[in-house]
Amino acid sequence: EAQVTQNPRYLITVTGKKLTVTCSQNMNHEYMSWYRQDPGLGLRQIYYSMNVEVTDKGDVPEGYKVSRKEKRNFPLILESPSPNQTSLYFCASSHGLAGGPFAYNEQFFGPGTRLTVL
């Protein structure tokens, strides 16, 4: 089954304790992205990656790190989480159109990770 998986689905942690949220896709997609969803603010892009070892900042990258060492995986790293990073996080992936922008393609989203930082 084609899917994007995220782990963990729920996480409660404390300020300053480093954490990683994993994301994996089995569709051989070139493009992957991380979003956060907050009440009244919709989905905001944190980071995106157009291929292995190619990443770029989205609209709200502060406090986050990402890496793309393998095509299928795109982990989100919070080196020192703070309460304002309490949010619902989504990973997404999509194909790249030959000669076209990746974002033109529909994105497949994971089920979400609800993070609470105390």
Partner 1 sequence: DQQVKQNSPSLSVQEGRISILNCDYTNSMFDYFLWYKKYPAEGPTFLISISSIKDKNEDGRFTVFLNKSAKHLSLHIVPSQPGDSAVYFCAASAGTNAGKSTFGDGTTLTVKP
Q: Rule CB under 8 A: which residues touch partner 1?
A: 4, 31, 33, 35, 40-45, 48-50, 56, 58-59, 90, 92, 100-104, 106-112
Q: Which is nearer to partner 1, 77 or 109 (CB)?
A: 109
Query: Do 20 and 3 form a contact (C-beta atoms < 8 A)?
Result: no
Residue 8: count other Cβ atoms within 10 Å of its Cβ.
Answer: 12
CB of residue 57 to partner 1, shortest distance in Å: 9
In angstroms, what is the minimal distance from the CB of 22 to partner 1? 15
DSSP three-state, residue 17: coil
| Shortest Cβ 63–partner 1 spacing (Å) | 19
* Phi, psi torsion values for 13, nearest 5 degrees: -140, 180
Nearest to 114 by CA among 78, 90, 84: 90
Whichever of 42 and 69 has its CB closer to partner 1, that residue is 42
Q: Quick one: 35 or 64, whose CB is closer to partner 1? A: 35
Nearest to partner 1 of 40, 69 (CB atom): 40
Minimum CB distance to partner 1, residue 16 (Å): 29
32 CB-contact burial (10 Å; exposed 0-12 / middle 13-18 / buried 19+): buried
